[in-house]
Every structure is written in C-alpha cells, then in structure tokens.
C-alpha cells in the first residue's frame, strides 16, 4: 500500500516537473527570450541603421531584388543587384549564377559582409520563396525569364 | 527488479482483424491521391513542376505533428494512470512520427536545393524541425536502453511530453522568427488548382499514419506478451 502511494507520488512529481518545464519553455519563447537572438537576417533598413557596427562583420541580409537592378556579367560571372525592403536599399555584389528562381522582385537572403564602400559582398545567395502558389498567367513563361537573363553563363 | 510472476494483460491482445484490408485501402488511396494531384495541377509560375513536392512534403509535416500529438496524449495518460497499453501506443506513434519527420526533412531539402539554392540552412524552422526529429530519435533509443518496462514507460513518457512541446514551436517558428522557410500556406495564398492536391494527400497520409501506428502497436503488444511469457518461464513458473 505504502509502496503504491510512493509510486503515485513519484509519478506526480514527474507530471509536475513536466508541466513546469512546458510552462517555462513557452513563457520564454512568448516573452521574447529568443525573439531578439534568432534573427536569421537583417533587412536593408536594419543593416543601414547599425552604422559602423554592421560593417565588415559576417551577416545575413534579406529583402526583395529591386526590379531592374540586376546586372549580370557573363564574362566575369559578376552579379550585381540591389536589395530593398521598402525603406532602405543596399547594393549587393555576388559571384556566379544564382539559383533558378532568382529574378526581379523575388525575396533573397545573402550571406556575406557589408563593405565600407557601401556594397554588400555576398558569399552565398539564397532565394526566399513566398507561401504563394499560382499558375502562370496567360502567355507568361517565368522560367524563360531566367534563361534569357542567364543563358550565356558558362558552367 | 523482479517482473510480475504472471503476465497480466490490462486489455486483451489486439488482433489484426480488418486492419490489413485498411492498409491496402490506404496504399491504393495514397497512389490515387498522388497521381491525381500531380496530373490535375498546373506548374507553378515560379517553380514549375517543382511545386509537386508540396503534395508530399506538406502532408508529411502535418502527419508528423499529428503523430507526436498522439505521443503527447498517451504519454500524459502514462504519467497519470501508468498503463502499459498507453505506453505502447505512445511508442508506436513516436516511431511512425519520427519516420514522417525524417521524410519531411528529406523532402524539404530536395525542394530547397533548387528553390533556395541550398540544401540546408540554420533558420528557426529547419533547426526546430531537426531538433524535433533528434528528440524522438532520443526517445526511441531511450526505450531501447531501459530494460524494466515500468521505468521505461515513465521515462519515455516524460521525454515524449517534452518532445511534443516542440510541435507548436516548429509550427509557429515561421511566424515568431524571420526564416528562410516561407510562412504556412493558406487557401488565400494557394491557387485553388493546388488545394485539391493538398487536401486529398492530407487524407492519404492520415490513413497511412493510422494504419502504421495501429500495426506497430499490435506488434509491440505481442512483443511485450512474449517477453512476459519468457520472464515467467525463466522464473520456472507454469
């Protein structure tokens, strides 16, 4: 009998410990313990707002490719474009052909360093896809856009 | 610790019954769901037919969440009532859930490479999904390490509850933090042409989940019954 009640107590202690951990984890998450630390990328405005603190340190920058800003040199494999967030804009330099879905207006995240000359040197370029899934409009051939932009790129 | 002298079954051993038939139905329905959704939907304007991965990656993720929710419910029941059947249901759901979790990660990587340009990145969604997987791999190895059934049930129930807490974190990660992974799609962001495929495959994966958990549970009960008979034989009983 006493053995059984001892077991019950042990079990209850586990349940209480579990509930405490659950509550603590959620509290921590909801009240922003991680909020400030888990920032996967900075927007152009945030990067610019950091001033010299944001210069020449490894950082990720995310935003949209400014329409009309993409310049690709198929000889040197230099890729230049501007990342915007509606507030600020940052010039980005990257090397090599970007992922297939890179195009005007697309979300991108670049890893690299913001130089003193105001150009972000990207070592890695990722395309951020939105949660929108749409069939192409009549006559629209989006995949051709990439091909016409980057078809000259040697391997 | 001496095991109980007589194998006690709280409930009669589960029988296969019509479950194999249900399994056949689930398989046929899955094939139908996949084939029909792939044939019916137009290519996406950005990613073309790569969009079809949505019909396996997304249902796999939902199924993972559901499986770990089952683990949560039955782990709490174990902590509350201490019944072995609950423990074995939780373990079965954890095993199947870990499999779907691995599938979610693998399919996501296959989609991510051509879309994002990288197989993997340490954003909050990807990292938390990997952590979820590792916790349940830990859960399964913990079970393999603890010999004594009652301790195994209690310890793994605790880990099961703690692991399942990560499900809402994984789900909300794209809202709470900035991630490379996109937000959840909803009917307003997904063209109706793709909604059918998501819905029908959600059901197909659900049926497969139910089937696998059920059969795994049957196997787990039979294995436990055999263990108990062995214990009795070892003690020279009957």
User: In the prediction, which pLDDT does A84 show?
Assistant: 93
The rounded distance, in Å, linking the Cα atoms of B108 and B206 is 19
Residue of A nearest to B150 (CA): A7
User: In the prediction, which pLDDT does B94 show?
Assistant: 97
Indicate whether this complex's ipTM tops 0.90: no
- In a 10 Å sphere around its CB, with 0-12 CB exposed, 13-18 middle and 19+ buried, how is residue B227 labelled? middle
Q: Which residues on chain B are in Cβ contact (under 8 Å) with A128?
A: 116, 180, 182
User: Which residue's structure tokens are 């995310």?
Assistant: A62
Listed in sequence order, the residues at least 6 apart from A60 whose beta carbon sits closer than 8 Å to its beta carbon are: A40, A41, A42, A109, A110, A111
Q: Dump pLDDT digits (tens) for B91-117.
A: 999 999 999 999 999 999 999 998 999
Tell me chain A's radius of gyration from C-alpha atoms. Answer: 24
User: In the prediction, which pLDDT does A152 show?
Assistant: 47
Between B80, B117, B193, which is nearest A125 by CB?
Answer: B117
Contact: B189, A133; criterion CB under 8 Å:
yes
Average pLDDT score over residue span B12-21: 88
Give the pTM.
0.83
Q: Dump pLDDT digits (tens) for B180-221.
A: 998 888 888 888 889 999 999 999 999 999 999 999 999 999
- In a 10 Å sphere around its CB, with 0-12 CB exposed, 13-18 middle and 19+ buried, how is residue B18 labelled? exposed
Contact: B158, A129; criterion CB under 8 Å:
no
- Answer for the pair B71, B97: CB distance below 8 angstroms, yes or no: yes
pLDDT means over runs of 10, chain A (155 residues):
60 72 70 61 90 88 92 89 91 89 89 92 90 75 59 46
Domains (range + CATH), chain B: 19-221 (1.20.120)
- What's the fold here for domain A44-130+140-150? OB fold (Dihydrolipoamide Acetyltransferase, E2P) (2.40.50)
The rounded distance, in Å, linking the Cα atoms of A93 and B228 is 68
Contact: A15, B80; criterion CB under 8 Å:
yes
Between B54, B161, B183, which is nearest A18 by CB?
Answer: B161
The rounded distance, in Å, linking the Cα atoms of B38 and B49 is 9
Q: Dump pLDDT digits (tens) for B118-135.
A: 999 988 899 899 999 999
Give contacts of B 122-141 with A, CB under 8 A.
Answer: 123-124
């Amino acid at each position: 009998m006493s053995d059984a009640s001892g077991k019950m107590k042990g079990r209850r202690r586990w349940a209480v410990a579990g509930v405490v951990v659950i509550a603590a984890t959620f509290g921590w998450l909801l009240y922003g313990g991680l909020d400030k630390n888990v920032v996967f990328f900075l927007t152009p405005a945030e990067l610019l707002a950091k001033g010299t603190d944001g210069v020449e340190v490894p950082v990720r920058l995310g935003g949209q490719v400014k329409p009309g800003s993409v310049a690709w040199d198929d000889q040197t494999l230099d890729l230049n474009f501007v990342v915007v967030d509606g507030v600020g804009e940052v010039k980005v330099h990257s090397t090599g052909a970007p992922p297939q879905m890179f195009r005007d207006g697309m979300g991108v995240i670049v890893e690299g360093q913001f130089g003193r000359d105001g150009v972000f040197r990207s070592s890695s370029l990722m395309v951020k896809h939105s949660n929108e899934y749409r069939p192409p409009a009549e006559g629209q051939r989006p995949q051709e856009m990439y091909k016409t932009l980057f078809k000259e790129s040697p391997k | 610790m001496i095991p109980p002298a007589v194998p006690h079954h709280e409930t009669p051993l589960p029988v296969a019954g019509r479950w194999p038939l249900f399994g056949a139905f689930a398989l046929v329905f899955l094939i139908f769901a996949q084939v029909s959704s792939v044939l019916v939907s137009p290519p996406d304007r950005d990613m073309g037919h790569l969009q079809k991965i949505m019909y396996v990656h997304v249902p796999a993720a939902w199924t993972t969440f559901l499986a770990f929710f089952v683990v949560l419910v039955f782990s709490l029941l174990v902590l509350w009532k201490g019944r072995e059947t609950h423990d074995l249901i939780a373990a079965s759901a954890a095993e199947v859930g870990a499999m779907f979790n691995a599938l979610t990660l693998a399919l996501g990587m296959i989609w991510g490479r051509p879309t994002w340009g990288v197989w993997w990145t340490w954003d909050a969604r990807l990292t938390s999904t990997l952590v979820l997987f590792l916790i349940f791999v830990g859960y399964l190895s913990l079970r393999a390490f603890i010999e004594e059934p009652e301790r195994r049930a209690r310890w793994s129930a605790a880990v099961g509850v703690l692991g399942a807490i990560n499900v809402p974190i994984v789900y909300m990660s794209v809202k709470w933090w900035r991630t490379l992974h996109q937000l959840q799609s909803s009917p307003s962001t997904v063209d109706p042409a793709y909604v059918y495929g998501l819905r029908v495959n959600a059901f197909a994966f659900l049926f497969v989940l139910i089937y696998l958990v059920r059969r795994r549970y049957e196997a787990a009960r039979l294995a436990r019954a055999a263990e108990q008979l062995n214990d009795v034989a070892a003690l020279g009983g009957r």
